[in-house]
Amino acid sequence: MTLNFPIVANSQTNGVIKHNNSPALNTQKQVSFGENPKTKIVGDFAESAFTRLGRQKTPFNRAVIGFVAIATQPWIDLFNKDVDEDTRKTACLRTAAKLGIGTATGIAVRKFFIDFVAPKFSVTSDELKNKPHKSYHDWLKPSESIVSTKNFEMMKRTLSKHREVCGTFVAIAAMMLTDPPLTLLTTNFLNKHFKVDKSKTNNSPKIDNSTKGDK
Amino acid sequence: MNESSFMKTVVNKAYTNFSQNPGNFLLWSGSIGWVASCISQLVAIANNDKLTGKQKKFLIPQEITDGVVNTLLFAVFTRSFTKIGEKLVHNGKIATKTLADLYKTTKVPHLGNKTIDELIGTEVEVDKNGKKVKQLFHIGDTVNKLDPTEAENGISKKYWPFATGVVFTFSTLGSVISCDAVTPFVRNKIASHQQKKALAKEQALGQNEVKTVSPIAPTQPLQNPYQPKTPLASAYRPNGSMKI
């Protein structure tokens, strides 16, 4: 089947120009950036905001998730109709406390491994600035054969990101060792300070899912 | 360290897949974080002396189900939002004013010396109905292949901070919606359903055992020597509260 494309170029086609001599039957050309009415140019504030957010690392990502969780999940427990009022209040306080501890731990451990541990075993700050550097262990440094050195800006950017990547994964592995005893300590602390008065409960099941995924 | 060691292979893979792709990194680090959280909860349950074996038999499969659901929801939402952010910036759907001007002046030698502005949106793959299915021109890849001097002095310094910021913002938005909005409700529903099932099972077990209790009090002599001795029904009443 032969597809015939008439030559059309107007605003009604949303900027699509169809050629009847297209080298491949299944490709079309579109008008360029400046003329495409669907393209959005962001303002100065948005540009500044996106640029600043692009410089943030995983501790910031963890902080955002944690703080939004603290702002929302305790309220879910407070208005949970499956349990009585006293349990709701206790569950709300326990959830807030667990999320606070989990978020603080997650941010602190990530920051420690990204800022202090990874630079000792991967690319150093002096290397990123192209200065003479003191050599450490290179366990987490990528091989020279895969690092493109033609574009220094790109190399600096990717090596800096690589330091963050290694720091984050090592932090997650470290938290797998520290989390079980920390969970036990947290649970004992909360059980001691946020007890449910059993005489006021109706023996209905208590659902407590507040700290999952707090790595 | 030996260049061909397993550790070096893993580090090189991390560099290739994550250091040059921030959206991919947030997705995988978050998913691995969920899996790690599930594993540490399983270890905590298994080593908790205050739980009985029966409770552990219920809690461990529940925790595994929880972990699978959490990880899948996180991966689906974060991946979707990350893809949206990547398409918006790498296909030229959004840009800053500075970038818009740079797109009109920066030429790409390996693509016929055309400007990026002329190349954006070109070579689109369409299906037989003429509907676009794939964008073949990728601004990020093109910027990376530019002459280092051109990239250092011009477009690379402006493009990548903006592109990284957009992808990071959309990834974070996806993970927040997944972790803080969708997952708690889904988790509560699943946990509630499992608890009701377990309670119903316990209550049914308790009723069956109540039916098998002999109506004859233990102090009275048994009329049938083959009727087994059983304690009073109240001893078999199940405990309704479940600690999770």
- What is A162-195 written as a DSSP string? HHHHHHHHHHHHHHHHHHHHHHHHHHHHHHHHS-
B116: closest CA among A39, A150, A51, A23? A39
| Residue with the two structure tokens 């059993």 | A198
- Partner-chain contact A30 B95, CB within 8 Å: no
Among partner residues B121, B156, B188, which is closest to A153 by beta-carbon distance?
B156
- Partner-chain contact B117 A30, CB within 8 Å: no
More confident residue, A213 or A10: A213
**Predicted TM-score (pTM) of this structure:** 0.73
Between CA B62 and CA B71 the distance in angstroms is: 14
B15, B43, B123: which to substitute to probe chain A, counting the most A Cβ within 10 Å?
B15
B168 touches A at CB < 8 Å: yes
pLDDT tens figures, B66-86 = 888 889 999 999 999 999 999
| Residue with the two structure tokens 């397993």 | B6
| Residue with the two structure tokens 């002046």 | B105
B8 touches A at CB < 8 Å: yes
| Percentage, residues of chain A above pLDDT 90 | 9
Burial of B178 (0-12, 13-18, 19+ CB in 10 A): buried
Q: Nearest CA to CA, how far is A55 from chain B (Å)? A: 7
pLDDT tens figures, A89-104 = 777 887 888 788 888 8
What does residue A42 show for φ and ψ, rounded to 5 degrees? -80, 155
A2, A48, A90, A165: which to substitute to probe chain B, counting the most B Cβ within 10 Å?
A165
A46: closest CA among B99, B72, B68? B99
Between CA A197 and CA A182 the distance in angstroms is: 25
B224 touches A at CB < 8 Å: no
**How high is the ipTM of this complex?**
0.71
Instruction: Reply yes or no on whether the pLDDT at A74 is more than 80.
Output: yes
pLDDT tens figures, B13-35 = 888 888 878 888 989 999 998 89
Among partner residues B19, B96, B160, which is closest to A162 by beta-carbon distance?
B19
Q: What is the pLDDT of residue B152?
A: 54
Put residue A203 in one of left, alpha, beta given phi > 0 → left and psi -120 to 50 → alpha: left
Q: Which residue of A has its CA nearest to B63?
A: A212
Residue A37 pLDDT grade (very low, low, confident, very high; cuts 50, 70, 90):
low
- Partner-chain contact A172 B26, CB within 8 Å: no
DSSP B230: -
Helices (H), chain A: 44-54, 58-78, 85-112, 118-121, 125-128, 152-193
Residue B149 pLDDT grade (very low, low, confident, very high; cuts 50, 70, 90):
low
Bridge partner residues of A28 (DSSP): B124
Residue B62 pLDDT grade (very low, low, confident, very high; cuts 50, 70, 90):
confident
pLDDT tens figures, B181-232 = 888 778 777 777 777 777 788 788 776 655 444 444 444 444 444 433 333 3
More confident residue, A131 or B67: B67
pLDDT tens figures, B84-124 = 999 889 888 888 888 888 888 888 887 778 888 877 767 66
